[in-house]
Structure 1
Amino acid sequence: MPDTNWTTRPWHRDWLQARANELFDLFQRNAVNPKGGFYDLDASGRPYGHIRHLHQTSRMVHCFAIAAKLGRPGAETIVDHGMRYLWEGHRDRKSGGYCWSLDDDGFKDDSKQAYGHAFVLLAASDAAMIGHPLAKDMLADVTGVLNIRFWDEHYGAVSEEFARNWAKISDYRGQNSNMHLTEALIAAFEATHDAAYLDKAKRIATLIIRTHAASLDYVVAEHFDEQWKIDKGYKGSDMFRPAGTTPGHWLEWSRLLAQLWVLDGRREAWMIDAAEQLFRSAVNRGWDEAKGGFYYTLDFENQPAITHKIWWPVTEAIGAAAFLNALKPDSFYEHWYRKLWDFSAIHFIDPANGGWFPELGDDLKPFDRFFTGKPDIYHALQASLIPLFPATGSLMRAIS
């Protein structure tokens, strides 16, 4: 293998920047809903639908805050549009918290989801880093909701879901919401320098990874009961809570643990060790060696369960490979970084309409089972930008 990484080569860096700008162009041009929030995009990149989901609104704020910090014209207008919809639309002024979805007539699903609140914290943190006028109040508001309503101090993680009036919906506990809260807590720490955010992120990581994933030889369990015991028999929806394990989440955790290791002054060895172990576990167990791509889910014998190839695990693997290779240079990570982009460029990136195909069937052709149209900008954008910046924390921290 050549002795220079792709991420140091000017042509590759230009190619990554072009991919990021294509995504920014697509969503800046087509996703803004003049009635508030953002449209979904169909397979051609055109706006459709009228339901706005909390995580999607928040992710648009996150991505265009990154764009604003990069100096992209028009990005701050997108951030402002999203922040106002979070504050004036999704926020429940009566009972507190942020409701899951809205349409033009008001709340569509008024449940309060930890997953959604994690992304509100991410959006508010990023908006604070570019000086948005609503960011300070939103950051304080969502932090209070998370601390009072969701956070379980005994276990060091958040509960999953509540009704609008904060009545308990279920005893289910999920790692996915806690993983994304870890991402948001890191961003909040970077925005405020308040160590309480980082301490919570470390507690979640300790529970999900150091306690549970390590006991499973670095397989991340997804589903738990209210005592945080693994529920191997859980069968939720195939899209959001599929049975078994999801290798893409092992890869997300790989990068997040590496970021925690960088940011935490103690640089605890278990974090970076687990980051490396999770990456290797995912590519060794989750990659389809015959066809390419990551299986969406595995069973607890590490055999493929849902074999369709979804776009976001590959993007998360790209970010993790780049981040780890910067911190712990190794030809193994460089090999996988190139292999992942090779597969994505051939199969996932849509050259005709922009964006990425969200899902491939077993023949590696675009296929609609779980996702329709163009997925949101969040995962693919981070894959395009993380390799361009130092591995010093989140993109918002690294871009300066």
Structure 2
Amino acid sequence: MTDAWVDLPVHRAWLHREELRLTDFGAAAALPGGGFGWLDGNGRRTADPAVHTWITARMTHVYSLAHLRGVPGAGPLADNGLAALTGRLHDEEHGGWFSRISTAEGVPAGTGKNAYDHAFVILAAASATAAGRTYAEPLLADALDVVGRHFFDAGTGLSVEGYDRDWSSCEDYRGANSNMHLVEAFLAAADATGDTVWRDRALGIAEQLIHRITADNGWRLPEHFSAGWEPVLDYNRDHPADPFRPFGSTVGHWMEWARLLVALDASLGAAAPGWLVEDAERLFSLAVGHGWSVDGAPGFVYTLDWDDRPVVRERMHWVPAEALMAAAALHRRTGDALYEEWYRTLWDYVRRYLIDTDQGSWHHELAPDNTPSATVWQGKPDLYHAYQAVLLPLLPAAPAAASALLGNGVAR
């Protein structure tokens, strides 16, 4: 095979062009008073008055990275997200962050506190800290303190899922998704703060959920658990297309975990256990074997049952984004040409089906025939996966993206 695409000047230029297209599209989501709204398929803010913490935090992360990349206007957009994360999305009375607020009424629309949102607050604050944005460092310290006190369970080495507003009641549900995003957030926090405890906690989560629980389930990643961390394999069987808690196993998360395991390996260096890369390769292989083009059309299905049969066959934009990032990371780590082949295949798929050259950004969901649909996701509310897909292949697996950019670690 010829040189890897990420080493070719034209490919890097193409990625950069797509990066600028995405950041221009997302700017329309910025809200007066701070935070980011939900964009429809045409890139206009919807009539929904809610400001979601996860969207605002993800966009703050993206525009912090874009600022470090030298994109004019990205720094103020990151600041707009920070204004909401330190202001109206933050619970001044009890601490932590609301899941969402209503701009129409100026009050919390979702008063529960969940680990998923808090993971992205940490990631946003870590990236904004590296980008030198005002108020980011104290926000990061606050978020790490809240997660350390309320969510992280030292007894299991994992995070609980959710609380009511005053932290008096913790729900029985436990989830792999929020823990996965805490791995990413903890790695970013370790690089931003220099405190290795967050790296150790990220490794502990990965070891429990992947090297033990997933391995014991035939390498089919369970997503939902009881309070005692017993897999609940029938969870949401009657509501299989839930955007955050779908029934079965979510193929895209196999790829996302593969990427994060390689990042952990790079972050730990000589101290990294050998199973990190081995497990990443196994997850990648199973994901393409059971999730790609399994129903007669190219693309990854959203979910599988426990016999590896497709359940929700719609294609989500974030799945090939995570897959191509995993392929790039594994190719760099192992040198295996198979991952370069997948990297190229996945970008060809994204370019043909997902990139919306008319209205901007990427279609967030495709029907099984790869035409745009909206059964699980409405509109285009998020840049996080697509933006990282055009940036992370150019970066080393560690440190985290913002710290790598701060150290000029990008391939130019």
TM-score category, normalised to shorter length = over 0.9
1-structure distance, mates of 2:403, 2:333: 16
Deviations, residues 254-313 of structure 1 (Å, cap 9, x unaligned) = 010100000114021011111111111111111124211111000011111111111111
Matched, 1:261 2:265: yes
Question: What does residue 154 of structure 2 align with?
Answer: 153
Letter in 2 for 1:327: R
Is contact 1:356-1:375 (8 Å) kept?
no
Matching residue's letter, 1:167: S
Task: State how far apart, in whole Å, the 2-side matches of 1:280 and 1:252 are.
Answer: 13
Deviation, structure 1 residue 144: 1.2
Aligned equivalent of 1:353, options 349, 356, 359: 359
Please state how far the C-alpha of 1:80 moved relative to its aligned partner.
Answer: 0.9
User: Which residue number corresponds to residue 129 of structure 2?
Assistant: 128
1:40 match: secondary structure: coil
Q: Which residue of 2 aligns with 1:106?
A: 107
Structure 2 CA distance for aligned equivalents of residues 286 and 164 of structure 1: 38
Partner residue of 2:255 out of 246, 251, 270: 251
Structure 1 alignment gaps of length 5 or more: none
Q: Which amino acid aligns with 2:285?
A: R
Q: Please state how far the C-alpha of 1:382 moved relative to its aligned partner.
A: 0.6
2:70 is matched with which residue?
71
Aligned equivalents of 1:18, 1:233: Cα separation in 2: 43
* TM superposition shift of 1:394: 2.3
- Normalising by structure 2, report the TM-score: 0.94
CA distance in structure 2 between the aligned counterparts of 1:74 and 1:309, rounded to whole angstroms: 32
Residue pairs, 1:290-309, within 5 angstroms: 290-309=296-315
The 3-state SS of whatever aligns with 1:107 is strand
Q: Does the Cα contact within 8 Å between 1:357 and 1:375 map onto a contact in 2?
A: no
Do the aligned partners of 1:323 and 1:387 also contact (CA within 8 Å) in 2? yes
Amino acid at match of 2:302: Y
Match of 1:174 in 2: 175
Moved over 4 A (4+): none
CA distance in 2, matches of 1:321, 1:183: 17
Identity %: 39
Q: Which residue of 1 aligns with 2:243?
A: 239
**Unaligned residue ranges in structure 2 (runs of 5+):** none
Q: Deviation of residue 67 (structure 1)?
A: 0.5
Q: CA deviation at 1:43?
A: 1.0
Instruction: Name the SS for the 2:303 alignment partner.
Output: coil
Q: How does 1:49-64 map to 2 (within 5 A)?
A: 49-64=48-63
My pick for the range that moved more, 382-391 or 254-263, is 382-391
The Cα shift of 1:314 comes to 0.7
356-365 vs 108-117, greater mean Cα deviation:
356-365
CA distance in 2: counterparts of 1:117 and 1:390, whole angstroms:
26
Aligned match of 1:288: 293
Q: Quick one: which amino acid aligns to residue 388 of structure 1?
A: L
- Preserved CA contact (<8 Å) 2:91 2:97: yes
SS in 1 for 2:33: coil
In structure 2, the partner of 1:326 is 332
Residues 319 and 383 in structure 1, CA contact (< 8 A), matched pair in contact too = yes
**How many correspondences in the alignment?**
398
Q: State the Cα distance separating 1:232 from its structure 2 match.
A: 0.8
Matched, 1:36 2:42: no
Match in the other structure for 2:208: 207
Partner letter of residue 247 of structure 2? Answer: A
State the Cα distance separating 1:3 from its structure 2 match: 2.4
Question: What is the distance in 2 between the residues matched to 1:220 and 1:342?
Answer: 27
Q: Using the alignment, how far apart are the partners of 1:177 and 1:343 within structure 2?
A: 28
